[in-house]
Every structure is written in C-alpha cells, then in structure tokens.
Amino acid sequence: MAEQKKLYWLKLKTDFFTSKEMKKLRKIAGGDTYTIIYLKLQLLSLQDGGTLYFDGVEESFADELALILDEEPDNVKATLLFLERTGLIDMNESEIRLLVVPTLIGKESESAGRVRAFREKQKMLQSNVESLQCNTLVTKCNTEKDKEIDKEIDSKKSVSKETPKESATPTANAPRPPKPEKHQHGEYSNVLLTTEELQKLIAEYPQDYQERIEQLSRYMKSTGKVYKDHLATIRNWARRDGAQKANGPQAAPINATRAPQDYQKGANSAIYAALEAKKKREQEGNT
C-alpha cells in the first residue's frame, strides 16, 4: 500500500510582525527581504520538524539555501547571521534548526484532509438546510398572518356593507330646496322673473320698471338673444344709461303684504299708458 501524502502548514502567530525580533529585523537595511527569507526557511523546514540539512550541492550552506529559495546568497547569509544572534536558530555546518517552528507545525494525511473538507462541506450544507427551513417557517407564518389580516379586512368590509356608517355630511344627500318659480312678463312673455325679483325691480325702478321689462322683451324678440338672468340684465342696462341714479331717490319700500297679481295689474296699466303716450306722439308728428 502506497504511503499517503501528508499536508503541512505553518501556524503563524498573530504577534509575528510585532515581536521585538521582527521589528528589529525590518528596521535594518533590506529588512523586509530578510523577513521574507525567514518565512521561506520556516516553510522549507516543515517536513523535517523545523530542521534544514546541508546536501553539499553548493560550496556553503547559505549558498545552497539561496539556490533553493531563489534569493541572493548575501541576503541569505545576512538573514542567518541575524537569526543566530537573536537566538531564533541553532546552526552548524550540516544543519540548521529553527527553534520556534516545531510549535507552529500543523499537519494531516491527505485522506484526513479530504475527510475534513467533506465534513466541512456537509456542515455547510446542513447549515444551509436549517436556514432554508427557518426561512420556510417564517414565510409560512407570514402567509398565515396575511391570510388572517385578509379575513379581518373582508369581515370589516361585509359589516360595513350590512350596517353603513352615517354620512359625515348628512346634508350632502339631502334634497335640494325647489327653485323659485319664474313668471312670464313683457309683451312677448319672454322676460322671466320670480315674484321676489319683480318686487326688487319695482322697488328699484318704481316709475318705469314696466317699460324696462318691455324693452328687454322687444330686444330679445327682435334679436333672438338669450340672457341667463333677466333681472341682472335690466340692472346692467339701467346702469349703462344712468337711469338707476335718477330713479334711486324716488324708490319706495316694498309692501310685503301686496299680492303678486296686484303687481301684474299695475304692470298692465303702465303698459297701456306707455302705448297711449307713444300713439299720441306719433299723431303729433304726422300733423
């Protein structure tokens, strides 16, 4: 049975670069290079428990290590001299022992490494499965909560449909009061005024309110124009020709007890008087 390969690794201490020896080494000229060479020597010695052996390939041990590490011989010699002075190595002509390495070696067989990697993978998969199960439970709980919330909302909706709340503004749906009825006036019965509007017109223009009604009636009949508010139109015409200012001081208060038909009788009398006056003027003109 073939011998299994073994895997080695160096367990570098966390205070490696902050130790007094490494700080001193890095401060001298070329110290960073010497530090790298020291780390390479430690890795090279792992398989032999922290010991390096001279095989006589080169003339000196330092030259042989420089060949193996791909470093300059002078740099290797300077590193070995510093390590020996600080007590980090013990060396002679045939071997070098790195004194701290035996306590930093980690190793296992190749098969043990595969088993460890497999166990770590299984552990990770198990962790993922547990995480998925936890997520599934959380999702299920959230789904159940959502269902309960939906049921509660539906229940509230059904209750609100069965017992509708009173309107915050009860007058919004209240029936509107009927508009005042407008009566026909004028020669062509096309001037529309409510009883209240007629009273206002008589109060504002007591002497010629009927003539103003007749003017609007004849004008609309002859031109075909339509006005939305006949009282406002009569007032506008009065302001235009200055009649409102002349009649204003003579305005008399309205007798609220007077019936609408009495106003109509007075209107007819005014029309008759206006027609007679017009006829008389025409006769005088002809003569």
| SS3 assignment for the chain | CCCCCEEEEECCCCCCCCCHHHHHHHHCCCHHHHHHHHHHHHHHCHHHCCEEECCCCCCCHHHHHHHHHCCCHHHHHHHHHHHHHCCCEEECCCEEEECCHHHCEEEEEHHHHHHHHHHHHHHHHHHHHHHHHHHHHHHHHHHHHHHHHHHHHHHHHHHHHHCCCCCCCHHHCCCCCCCCCEEEECCCCCEEEEHHHHHHHHHHCCCCHHHHHHHHHHHHHHHCCCCCCHHHHHHHHHHHHCHHHHHHHHCCCCCCCCCHHHHHHHHHHHHHHHHHHHHHHHHHHHC
Residue 113 lies in a domain: no
Res 244: pLDDT? 47
Q: Sheet holding 51-53: strands in order across?
A: 51-53, 95-98, 89-91
Q: How far apart are CA 212 and CA 224, in angstroms?
A: 18
Residue 18 lies in a domain: yes
Structural domains counted in the chain: 2
Q: Which domain holds residue 223?
A: 182-279
Residue 122 lies in a domain: no
Instruction: For the chain, report the end-to-end CA distance as a whole number of angstroms.
Output: 158
Residue 10 lies in a domain: yes
The CATH number of whichever domain residue 36 belongs to comes to 1.10.10
Instruction: Please name which of 83, 77, 43, 40 lies closest in space to residue 58, comparing C-alpha atoms.
Output: 77
Res 251: pLDDT? 43
Chosen domain end from 53, 73, 107? 107
* Token representation of residue 79: 């590193």
What number of CA atoms fall less than 13 Å from residue 97's CA on the CB side? 7
Residues 112/69, Cβ–Cβ less than 8 Å: no
Residue type, 202: I
Residue 287 lies in a domain: no
Chosen domain end from 51, 73, 107? 107
Chosen domain end from 75, 107, 139? 107
Residue 22 has φ and ψ, to the nearest 5°, of -70, -35
* Token representation of residue 222: 């002859």
Residues 203/252, Cβ–Cβ less than 8 Å: yes
Indicate whether 12 and 99 sit together in one domain: yes
What does each of the 287 residues of the chain score in pLDDT, given as a tens digit?
456 677 888 888 899 999 999 999 999 999 999 999 999 999 999 989 999 999 999 999 999 999 999 999 999 999 999 999 999 999 998 999 999 999 888 876 655 556 667 778 888 887 777 667 666 666 666 677 777 777 777 777 666 665 555 554 555 566 788 888 889 999 999 999 999 989 998 998 898 989 999 999 999 999 998 888 999 999 898 888 775 455 555 444 444 334 445 545 555 566 667 677 777 777 777 66
Res 79: pLDDT? 95
Residues 244/235, Cβ–Cβ less than 8 Å: yes
Res 256: pLDDT? 37
Residues 67/82, Cβ–Cβ less than 8 Å: no
